[in-house]
Amino acid sequence: MLIDTYGRVATDLRVSLTDRCNLRCTYCMPEEGLQWLAKPELLTDDEIVRLVSLAVTRLGVTEVRFTGGEPLLRPGLVDIVSRCAELSLRPRMSLTTNGIGLARTAEALREAGLDRVNVSLDTLRPEVFRALTRRDRHHDVLAGLAAARAAGLDPVKVNAVLMPGLNEDEAPDLLAWAVANDYELRFIEQMPLDAQHGWKRDGMITAGDILTSLRTRFDLTAEEREERGSAPAERWLVDGGPARVGVIASVTRPFCRACDRTRLTADGQVRTCLFAREETDLRGALRSGAGDEEIAGLWRRAMWGKKAGSGLDDPAFLQPDRPMSAIGG
């Protein structure tokens, strides 16, 4: 079991498969990209499967989310999913992706054992997509979403970040489109995880802003709190349901008290929180010949030291040294 001093138990593992990405989203990285991790620094496919297996069989993890960077860029992704699906205590598995390449891989991922996907799409307007991502791939994302739905990777969730001056007016249109296409939309507040460290609290679109915008067109009924559990998204029924919309308000309405996550970076570091500035090295232990119980002990000690909250409200808050692409979503 992965328990911390506040009694929280981590059952949800986020595994970053690569720090590389084929988009250059303005809220994540600069146009020229970043200095990517060298291949020897990355966990191998075997090392990833071993750590997932250890987490599931010894540490109580029941949910595994594969992330990046962009996880579809990992050559061994389908095989990793397949091998994890064969574990005796099979975890529920999902993938967070920008959707580029999903049209050609959705069926194979479903056959390998993937349960569902989260696809990032911040706008319905191709020209705004180009401005946000610095790439002309809007049509590929839409095709990927359709392929995920056709493959049965349900529920297909769409993650959207609203940015001032670009897409802040699109919340109602995005929700109408998601409802019409049977996608579950989730808005995410922009977080201080950009490589440029250019995030400003007073420039972000807040959960309150998003809900105000949505209510100009829709009737929203809040779900009962017990239905949310440890999920990061607060959810509302749209016009009485069954469609729902979620808002992940990491900055203005933090949910640290119910957090059940543990994170593994592409280079084998345990992170107890997206905003942590400390990591615990499992890759070094793996490659020095440590046994499963020794590695599990390192992981348990890391989680035992998890802080009470993200620290975003602390005037002395400092962004993590590593950006979202390196940490994993």
Mean pLDDT over 96-112 rounds to 97
DSSP state of 136: -
Q: What is the mean pLDDT of the chain?
A: 91
pLDDT confidence tier of residue 232, bands split at 50, 70 and 90 = confident
Mean pLDDT over 182-188 rounds to 96
Looking at per-residue pLDDT, the higher value among 37 and 210 belongs to: 210
Report the pLDDT value the prediction gives residue 251, as an integer from 0 to 100: 84
Instruction: Please list, in sequence order, all residues whose beta carbon lies within 8 angstroms of the beta carbon of residue 3, skipping any fewer than 6 positions away.
Output: 9, 10, 300, 303, 304
Report the candidate in 274, 304, 271, 270 with the shortest Cα–Cα distance to residue 285.
270
Report the pLDDT value the prediction gives residue 260, as an integer from 0 to 100: 95
Report the pLDDT value the prediction gives residue 280, as an integer from 0 to 100: 96
How large a percentage of the chain has pLDDT more than 70? 91
For the stretch 242-262, what's the b/e string if a residue is b when 16 or more beta carbons lie within 10 angstroms of its beta carbon? Answer: ebbbbbbbbbeebbbeebbbb
Instruction: Evaluate whether 157 touches 184 at the Cβ level (below 8 Å).
Output: yes
Q: Is the pLDDT of residue 144 over 90?
A: yes
Token pair, residue 33, equals: 């990209």
pLDDT confidence tier of residue 296, bands split at 50, 70 and 90 = very high
End-to-end CA separation in angstroms for the chain: 22
Give the residue carrying structure tokens 């799409």. 121
DSSP state of 3: B
Instruction: Evaluate whether 162 touches 118 at the Cβ level (below 8 Å).
Output: no
Give the residue carrying structure tokens 């911390």. 4
Distance CA 283, CA 267 (A): 7
Report the candidate in 6, 111, 9 with the shortest Cα–Cα distance to residue 60.
9
In this prediction the pTM is 0.92
Distance CA 59, CA 286 (A): 17
Looking at per-residue pLDDT, the higher value among 258 and 108 belongs to: 108
Would you report the helix, strand and coil content of the chain in percent, each value rounded to 5?
A: 35, 15, 50
